[in-house]
Amino acid sequence: MKMTDPSTLRAWLLAEAPTSRRQARASAWYVGWLNLRSNTLAMAGLIFLALLLLAAVFAPFLASHDPFAQDLGARLLAPGTDGHLFGTDSLGRDIYSRVLYGARISIYIVLLVALVAPLLGLIIGTVAGYAGGWLDVVLMRVTDIFLAFPRLILALAFVAALGAGIENAVLAISLTAWPPYARIARAETLTIRNSDFIHAIRLQGAGPVRIVMRHIWPLCISSLVIRVTLDMAGIILTAAGLGFLGLGAQPPSPEWGAMVSEGRKFILDHWWVATVPGLAIFSISLAFNLLGDGLRDVLDPKEGGA
């Protein structure tokens, strides 16, 4: 059936008795979107992140200057001077352009960590929860060891061993971010593995790998998505902390933490050098937290979501 009429499509999505699995899945997504859209703060966070992503993609067209070009004759200009919207830094580089290009680095780090850490935690957590016994004990004790250290301190240790650089920073943050996901996945698996439908699947001849990957992982995704979104602010702050200490993206890359580190020497007389990238870190962290709270309301059934 073709549903070009919006009212017909809406009625199909909101049907009380879906007639197919595809309709049921589409209806669940649509109801979740309606619940998320009704959350003003979550939508504000989503809109800000969408605009930031667009700004990062089109940075070459939005930037007013070359972010790497130095002009010692225009050092530490105040915001709005000579066409520099946010002023210039100690080497005469345009801060506005550097913040735009720095968004690319932050989004790059966030996406890589969001792909690696939850997947690693999901694998470890579900294996531990489904297998049980000594394997569960060993994997959870390793998880507890990682959780015993503050994330930034542990990331500093990994970067010190691996060497400075953005790739090593991503790897270090991923290695410190997976334990909470493993704990969540294990808890979900312990709840699911003794369910009647799992027993029925096992009686049909399905092996442990198929049960975990096809039937347990999909039920863990919503909890992990909530945790990932809420963890984005911490990931950004950890990456900025590594950059601040000179262990993240290396100069002349316009990484926000490194920009704050450079500007701290001029914070009293030339406040904008450190304040502008600091506000960028604050804004993206706040946006992820607002979106994470909204997704938790939508995806977590204990919170009354869809």
Residue 2: pLDDT over 70: no
In this prediction, residue 302 carries a pLDDT of: 53
The arithmetic mean of pLDDT across residues 144-148, rounded, is 90
Is there a contact between 109 and 255 (Cβ–Cβ < 8 Å)? no
In this prediction, residue 301 carries a pLDDT of: 52
- By C-alpha distance, which of 13, 27, 42, 26 is closest to 297? 42
Residue 183: pLDDT over 80: yes
Q: Could you give the angle at which helices 272-299 and 217-244 cross, rounded to 10 degrees?
A: 170
Model confidence at 256, pLDDT cuts 50, 70, 90, reads very high
- pLDDT tens readout for residues 95-128: 999 999 999 998 898 888 888 999 999 999 999 9
Record the tokens describing residue 177, joined without a space.
């971010």
Domain ranges of the chain: 102-287
Share the mean pLDDT of the chain.
86
Query: Is there a cis peptide before residue 179, judged by omega within 30 degrees of 0?
Result: no
Residue 303: pLDDT over 60: no
In this prediction, residue 306 carries a pLDDT of: 41
In this prediction, residue 207 carries a pLDDT of: 82
In this prediction, residue 3 carries a pLDDT of: 53
Q: Report the C-alpha gap between 196 and 238 in whole angstroms.
A: 42
The CA distances from residue 286 to 107, 177, 228, 230, 300, in Å, are 15, 19, 14, 10, 21
Q: What percent of the chain has pLDDT over 70?
A: 95
Is there a contact between 102 and 280 (Cβ–Cβ < 8 Å)? yes
What is the pTM for the complete model shown? 0.84
Q: What is the CATH number of domain 102-287?
A: 1.10.3720.10
Residue 279: pLDDT over 90: yes
Record the tokens describing residue 111, joined without a space.
């996406």
Q: What percent of the chain has pLDDT over 90?
A: 32
- pLDDT tens readout for residues 227-247: 888 888 888 888 888 888 888
Q: Beta partners for 81?
A: 84
Model confidence at 57, pLDDT cuts 50, 70, 90, reads very high
